[in-house]
Amino acid sequence: MAELTTLAEAVAALVRDGDMVALEGFTHLIPVAAGQEIIRQGVRDLTLVRMTPDIVYDQMIGAGCASGLVFSWGGNPGVGSLHRLRDAVEHEWPAPLRLEEHSHAGMANRYAAGASGLPFAVLRGYVGTDLPRHTANIAAITCPFTGEVLTAVPALNPDVSIIHAQRADRRGNVQLWGITGVQKEAVLAARRSLVTVEEFVDTLEPRPGAMVLPTWAVTAVAAVPRGAHPSYAQGYYERDNTYYQEWDAISRDRDTFTGWLDRHVFGSAVGAP
């Protein structure tokens, strides 16, 4: 059974210095508030994992939480660069950042292998690209039946996975719908998991396209209304496209970013520009 708790308590209990942490969300339902709580609690030396690191990872990297990033596409969707990520990669500020780079197909299969209790996954991937020259975690594997050579990638099993969902019931069963990305896999692959939700409800009414994560498969659930802002929570609020655009200017400069961090993350329990 999942523990029903607060965001601050959950992060304090579950996220430790040096952990491999995945905050997943594919444009939709990104657990931004949880990422900012990790910044507030000063967690360090994280290996961040995500298929599509965006603004919240830019914030965590700029705030010095991370020493590594495992990813397949890092950008500010529809806007451009993640300047804090680029500053870390290009100028080691505020600290060097180890990159481990994959394709989406590879990352998705790595989570799926992790969720399946397998040490690796097989795919037709990376062929002809320069990724295997720079990423150690890509290997060849031969089909024992046909002799065909395919690609293997190792399972991802984060110490902690964090996702945001629309709802949970009071037993901690979690319901999410819309684009659900790789969130189920991220939670099931992890040793510990935290789900932030828009709200607790008495009953999870079945909905088209909804998936339920049973309470016994989740470590902790915390109510964090608007916890995915500036991304969106289908049925609750829209994507705040202005935030994404404004982030470009805020993040471009170290001082502007640091000022923003002081005001909007350290200065409050909700992060909005």
Which of 13, 122, 179, 270 binds a copy of itself (CB under 8 A)? It is: 122
Q: Per-residue string for binding with other proteins, 87-126, x by CB under 8 A?
A: --xx----------xxxxx--xx-xx--xxxx----xxxx
Q: Round to whole Å and give the CA distance between 51 and 103.
A: 8
| Three-state secondary structure call for residue 57 | helix
252 CB-near residues (< 8 Å, 6+ apart): 83
Asked if residue 127 binds a copy of itself (CB under 8 A), the reply is: no
Q: Per-residue string for binding with a copy of itself, 9-38, x by CB under 8 A?
A: ------------------------------
Which of 146, 202, 203, 255 binds a copy of itself (CB under 8 A)? It is: 146
Total site size for other proteins, rule CB under 8 A: 70
CA dihedral 175, 69, 268, 228 (to 10 degrees): -30
DSSP 26: S
Asked if residue 133 binds a copy of itself (CB under 8 A), the reply is: no
Asked if residue 13 binds other proteins (CB under 8 A), the reply is: no
Which of 130, 202, 205, 255 binds other proteins (CB under 8 A)? It is: 130
Task: From the list other proteins, a copy of itself, none, pick the one residue 26 interacts with, judged by a Cβ distance below 5 to 8 Å according to partner type.
Answer: other proteins
User: What are the CB-based long-range contacts (under 8 Å, 24+) for 11-15?
Assistant: 11/37, 11/38, 11/41, 11/43, 11/194, 12/41, 13/220, 14/160, 14/192, 14/193, 14/194, 14/219, 14/220, 15/41, 15/43, 15/46, 15/160
| Three-state secondary structure call for residue 256 | helix
Which of 8, 95, 143, 269 binds a copy of itself (CB under 8 A)? It is: 143
First to last CA, the chain: 36
Q: Quick check: 39 and 261 in contact, CB under 8 A?
A: yes
Task: From the list a copy of itself, other proteins, none, pick the one residue 196 interacts with, judged by a Cβ distance below 5 to 8 Å according to partner type.
Answer: none
- Strands 174-176 and 211-213, how do they pair? antiparallel
Asked if residue 206 binds a copy of itself (CB under 8 A), the reply is: yes
Task: From the list other proteins, a copy of itself, none, pick the one residue 245 interacts with, judged by a Cβ distance below 5 to 8 Å according to partner type.
Answer: none
Q: E strands, 34-156, where?
A: 46-50, 66-71, 98-101, 120-123, 139-142, 149-154
Would you tell me which residues interact with other proteins (CB under 8 A)? 1, 26-28, 51-52, 71-82, 85-86, 89-90, 101-105, 108-109, 111-112, 115-118, 123-131, 133-134, 148-149, 171, 173, 178-182, 184-185, 188, 209, 211-214, 216-217, 232, 234, 238-239, 241
Would you tell me which residues interact with a copy of itself (CB under 8 A)? 117-124, 137, 139-141, 143-146, 148, 150, 152, 154, 206-210
